[in-house]
Amino acid sequence: MNTVNLKTLMGSILGMILCIGIYHFTINDNTNTVKIEHVTASSGHNAVMTIDNDGSIKPLAFTNTAEEVLEAVVHIKSTQTGNNAMINNRRAPRNLPDPFKDFFGEQFFRFESPRQIPNKPRVGTGSGVIINDKGYIVTNNHVIDNANDLEVTLHDNRSYKATVIGTDPTTDLALIQIKAKGLPTVPLVNSEDIKIGEWVLAVGNPMGLNSTVTAGIVSAKGRNINILKEKFAVESFIQTDAAINPGNSGGALVNLDGGLIGINTAIASPTGSYSGYGFAVPSNIVNKVVEDLLTYGVVQRGVLGVMIRSVDGNLAKDKNLQVNEGAYVDSLLENSAAGKAGIKIGDIITKVNNATIRSSPDLQAAIATYRPGDEIKVSVLRDDKPMDIKVILINTEGNSNIIEKEHKEVLTILGAQLEDIDKKTAQKLDIDHGVKVSKLYAGKLRRYTQMREGFIITIIDGQKVKSKKELMKKLESKKGGVMLEGIYEDIPGEYYYAFGLGS
């Protein structure tokens, strides 16, 4: 018998054995008798090799990295309860827009009609990454937004209530904190150093499956998927094919050394589940946002003041350009930093300091790592000639000042952002004083009252409040119960909210 016939015969025999095995299992299963065989096998060996940054060949293994990172990735339960949930329903449609279905998942964020179930809590789940042993955790803003209560569960199943330190909707990032010390952390690394094709791990809690690790590669950088709708939104995502699903939001994307290169944020999918494309906020942007929130209480957004387009083949042909990449300056905003420095319409931005700019998301990401008042070197092509221009960045209000949130500690406890009402609003409401609650986070006001955003505080403990400064002074010296009185612009009547402040 020749070799070919022998192989054919062996294949046929193996095929018969396989078919008999499946049939035998099925028959026994139908008679409620299931036999499970255990085969003793040798331990696994690393068969695939990779090359590190030093050019050394080493086994490709994920086990050590997974063990290190899992300890520092947490599960976050975000709960909305009571009247806040009803009011928020007016702003959050029952049918989520497609981009938000992709990373929320309708089965995880149930937007019930207030007429049907007015007081039923709504629970969303996500992930977070411990970046500091004092309990600071980075997650996505959409994971904790509008929450009355935040519960964080560690890898070892310990649970803590969390408070919101600050948020940045323009990058979809948030910083929260739990009262715990000596926690495991994930170090942030320079996301500019990662390369397309590099192995990465995604760690999080998808679909209720806690502490899940998936592997893939960096499949693209500088992706803009138009999912953030804020005015100064920054989208320059790291794209990966590591499996990411609803619940992974806020989790870690790490390299094989266990360094954080991004926060998993969204997926592109026609079904709402993993279809091969996941997106993470780069760690360089994460680092800047966290530093700002810890130092200033708010994110310091440096603004160049240009409207831009990515240079591609079509634009190059239309504008008769000699390059096929960069950020094309379409227009300049009034009193912009770029215009004052000498950047002109038609310039092609190719570098910001040492960062190469190949597209408009690259420029967004580069500028997002700087603050108002920072001087940067912008390299441009003008009429095919390279030149460097020094630009001093401004803030969103048009100047170069750093904006610092005052009274950070008490505002964190309240879970609120406050501002003095303007004269126009005061005249409209026929009042001469008041402080507006412009934003609410998970804190005492959400947890213990039914206050909603837009409430104007006019009286605290029977005394008039004329300014935010005056209100903060009273709250910072207060111990025990607090009674706030005030009004809403769009709801008639006066409202009263009581809560307690610890000593």
Q: Which residues are catalytic?
A: 142, 172, 249
Nearest Cα to 234, choosing from 218, 251, 222, 221?
222
Helix (H, G, I), strand (E, B) or coil at 384: coil
How many other CB atoms are there within 10 angstroms of residue 342's CB atom? 14
From start to end of 284-415, where are the E strands? 306-310, 327-332, 348-352, 355-356, 375-382, 385-392
Distance CA 364, CA 496 (A): 44
Residue for token pair 């603004």: 303
DSSP H or E stretch at residue 176: strand 173-178
* Token reading at 71: 């300890």
Distance CA 411, CA 418 (A): 8
Residue for token pair 């004083």: 433
Distance CA 88, CA 92 (A): 6
Which residues are CB-contacts of 475 (< 8 A; sequence separation ≥ 6)? 407, 410, 414, 460, 482, 501
Where b means 16+ CB within 10 Å and e means fewer, 484-493 reads bbbbbeeeee
Distance CA 17, CA 27 (A): 15
Helix (H, G, I), strand (E, B) or coil at 473: helix
